[in-house]
Structure 1
Amino acid sequence: MQENKQKTLDRLARLEGQVRGIAKMVENDRYCVDILAQTAAVRSALKGVERLLLENHARHCVTDAIASGDAEEQREKFNELIALLQKTGG
């Protein structure tokens, strides 16, 4: 996770700011279409964070399981990856 950790944290910080901005838009009775455009941007940015985390899991956790030669660990990590892909729509 180290190589993508700062990138992930930076993206999450931006997302946090975007969500606060959306809350202010709602408080200020901004036009619904403008608010929805921002919520779409947040969803897209969150998908980017998910991709980083999935990539990290595949590159490290799954790769380590394969290298271990432990069939049970390999099955476990493979099943985790499939479950994550199903949850995230990947």
Structure 2
Amino acid sequence: MHNSEEEKLTHRSTKEKDKLVTRLKRIEGQVRGIQNMIENDRYCVDILTQISAINSAMNNVGLHLLENHTRHCVSDAIKDGNGEEAIQELMDVFKRFSKSQ
């Protein structure tokens, strides 16, 4: 996803990046597992259970990112006098995130 506006970046510690990447790789493995389950004609309920687990894992990653964004990016913007814009952006993210639930 490339934004036509200036691309915003967030500094994350190596520990934070490693934690997120590990979670996402685990989710990626779960998705591959579902592909195999479908190819092997596994029982629908078993597949749906795995999909539910993946959705939950993705939601947890999203909530983690939302929390860090609020604690750092939004907080810093408020301190720098750009609070209104940061809060509006955060609210827009909450709206998008809640639609995916």
The two structures share one fold, judged by TM-score above 0.5: yes
Percent sequence identity is 49
Equivalent position of 1:5 in the other structure: 17
| Amino acid across the alignment from 1:87 | R
* Helix, strand or coil at the partner of 2:29: helix
Shift of 1:74: 1.1
- 1:1-90, aligned counterparts within 5 Å? 1-2=12-13, 4-68=16-80, 70=81, 73-89=82-98
| Amino acid across the alignment from 2:96 | K
What are the ranges of 5 or more consecutive residues in structure 2 without an aligned counterpart?
Answer: 1-11
Q: Deviation above 4 Å: which 4+ runs of structure 1?
A: none
| Higher RCO (CA 8 Å, separation ≥ 6 residues) | 1
Shift of 1:52: 1.0
Shift of 1:79: 0.8
| The structure with more helix, counted as a fraction of residues | 1
What are the ranges of 5 or more consecutive residues in structure 1 without an aligned counterpart?
Answer: none
TM-score where L is the length of structure 1: 0.89
1:20 & 1:63 partners in 2: Cα distance? 38
Shift of 1:4: 2.7
Q: How many residues align?
A: 87
* Helix, strand or coil at the partner of 1:29: coil
Provide the aligned C-alpha RMSD in A: 1.4
TM-score where L is the length of structure 2: 0.80
Q: Kindly provide the CA deviation profile for residues 5-62 of structure 1, in whole angstroms up to 9, marking residues without a partner as x.
A: 2221111010000000000000000000000000000000000000111011101100
